Structure 1
Amino acid sequence: MRFQEEQLTHKEGNENRLPAQEIIGQSPELKEILRLISIVAPSDSTVLLLGETGTGKELVARAIHEGSSRGKKTMIQLNCAALPANLVESELFGHERGSFTGAMERRIGKFELAHQGTLFLDEIGEMPLELQVKLLRALQEKEIERIGSRTTMKVNVRIVAATNRDLEKEVEEGRFRADLFYRLNIFPIRLPALRDRREDIPLLANFFVQKLSKKIGRNISAISDSALEEMFNYDWPGNIRELEHVIERSILLAEDDVLRQVYLCTRRQSSVKRISDNDFQPKTIEENEREHILRILKYCKGKVAGFDGAAKVLGVPPSTLNSKLKRFGIRKIHYEIKDPNVFDNTNS
C-alpha cells in the first residue's frame, strides 16, 4: 500500500472521536465499537471489555462512563494486577482502623468512592480467586462491608471490567469463577488489535504526532510516505500503546520538521509472532501442575482415591493429592463434569 506524504491537520486527527476521548479511526471495526458504546452507555448494564493489551480498553471504559447518566459523577479505576493480592480487598472495600496489622486509619474503598458513578476494574482476570466471591456478592447484593466492620452499606455503582485474558478458558481451568464471569459478561465488547484495523494507523499516527510534538516541544508538520508505509506493514504486538511510544521515540530522533523514519521494535515483533505461531504461552511449573491435576480429575470424573481415581493415575498417595488440591485452591466446582462424554476422546 502506498501513501502520499501525510500533512498533519486537526481535522483528520479529530474525525470520529468521542468527546474528550482519544478514540480515533474510520475502520469498520472501530465504527462497530463506537456503535456498541452508543447502545450500552446510556444504560446501567455491566460491560466487559476484551482484547489484547494496548487496544484502548481504558478509553472505551471512560467513553461508556461519559455517555451515561453517571457521566458527571466520578469514574474510579482499579488495576487488579497492580497490587499484591492481600491489598486488593482493602482497595475495593476499604478497611477500619486497626482491622489488620498496618491499618493505622480508616480507608475508603473504591466501591464507596464510585458511589453513583462508575467503577472500572482493569485486568479483572488477575483478581485472586478468594476475592472473586466477595466481588460477586457486592455486585449481586449492591452492598459492601469494610474490612474490620460489622455493618454493611449500600452502594450504587456501575461496573465496567476489562481483561486481556480468555476468561472462558480461565473458568474452564479453575482460575476464574464461572458465576462471576456470567455476572460480568452481560454486554461484552471485544476491541480489535491494531493489525486488524490497519487503515486507522495514519489517523492514529497523525494524532500522536500532534499530541506528542506539543508535549516534547518539536514542530513536526508531516509524516513521510516511507514512514507511514513502514508503520502500516508492522504487526504492532503492543497495539495502540506501542504505536504511541514509537511515535514519541521517532519525534525525539527526527532531524527536521518531517517524520521521515520510525523506530520499530522489529526484534520484539518477530519474537512475539513466533510465540503466537506456535500457540505457546509461558507458564510456571506450578501453573502447569495445577492444569494437569485438573485435567486428570476431570478424566476421572472427580474421583480422587481408588483404583480408577486421580491419585492412582498421577502416581501419588490420595493424601498427597488432597494436599495439592488445597494448596492450589482446587475445589469440586472446578472439575465437575456434567457431560460424561467430555473426555471420551482423550486418547485420540
Structure 2
Amino acid sequence: MEEEYFPGDAIGILTYNLASEVDYVLDRLHLLESADQTYEVKLAKPVKKKNPELPHYVPKYVTPRRLLSECLDIRITPRKGLLQAMASCTADECEKRLLEILASKEGSNLYNELILKNEMNFLHVLKYVATCRPPLAMLIEHLPRLQARPYSIASYGRENHIRIAFAMLNDGQVGITTHMLESKLLHPGKWDKYLYMYLRQLKPVFNYREEDLERNIIMIGPGTGVTPYIGFLEYRKQAKSGSTRKTKMGSAWLLTSCRYQDRNYLYEHELKGFMQAGVLDRLHVASSRDEDSQYKYVQDIIEDRKEELVELLLDDATKLYLCGEGRTMLPRIQDTIVTCMSKVKSMPKSEAADLLAEYRKTGKYLYYSMIRH
C-alpha cells in the first residue's frame, strides 16, 4: 500500500447487499420486473422539509436493483421513524397497529424487547409484517447509506500487499462482506476480481506505534480478534531486527482462543515464530471444543494468571488491548478483568471498574469491538 498505516489500522471494504435479500425487497415492492430499468431520482413536490436535498449517495439516475444492492443498508436496525412510515403502507390492521406501537413513545419497552434484544433488522420486520408494501421513495428517505465494512490489517511493512482475516460461521447468519469475500475466493469467475477499499483508522484509535515499543503490552483477542496483533508483532520484529535503539523493548503478552487447535487456530505458526524471535514473551491459547484443553475461554486464562496479569496491567508502562466480538464476548472478558483486579488488589469491584474506565479515557486501555460484516 502506498499510504502510510500503523499496526492495528484497518481497511474499509466497499460491499454489496446479498442478491437474494435484494430480490426479496424488490418482490415485496412489486419491482422485480422493472428492477433493471433506470429511473431518475428527484424530490417530490411539495416538500415539507426546510432546505430538502437528496442523499448524496443516491445517484440521480439509478435502477432499483443497484439502489438496493449498493446504496441503501437494508439490514439496518429500524428506527421508530421508519417503523411509523412502514405502518402507513401496511394493509392488515393488526400488523399496522403493531408497527404503530413499536414506533410510539409508549411502546419503548416492546421495541427494546422485540427489536433490539432480538437484533431484528429492516428485513426481519418486513418479513414479519407480510402486508407492508413500502414505496421505494420511502426507503430512500429512511434507510441509511450502505457503509464500507472495516477489517483489521493483519500485517505490517509488506510491500504491495496486506492481509486480513475473516471467519464464516455455520449459524444461519451470513455477513454480506464475508459472503462476498468467500465468493470471490471460491468462485472468482463469477465476481469482479477487484476489491474496492480504502485505508481506515479505527475510532477510537486502536493501533501500535513507535512510542509504544518501550511499553509492556497485553493483547487479548479471541478468535479473529487476534488479527490486528499480527501487525503489532511484525512491527516489533522489524524494530528489533533493524533497531539501533538503546532502550529496551517492553514485554508482550497475547491471549487468544479458537474452537479446535488442530483446525482453526489462527496464525499458529506465525505466533510461535514470534515467540522464537523474542518479540512475543507470553502466548496463551484457549480452545473451547478440545476436551483436553487447559483453558476453554480467554476468561479462564485471565482468571488462572490473574496475579501476573493484574500486576503487569497496573504498571504505568503497560497498555492493554482488547479486540473481538463486541456484543457479548468482550463485555464478559472485560468483566473478568475487573473481577480479577478486585480480587488481586482487594478493592471493591466498582472501584476496579472505575479504574479500568479511567484507563480507557487516558489511552492505557484500547478496546475494539468487531461486528458481523
Question: Normalised by the shorter chain, which TM-score bucket?
Answer: under 0.3
TM-score normalised per structure 2: 0.25
TM-score normalised per structure 1: 0.26
Structure with higher helix content: 1
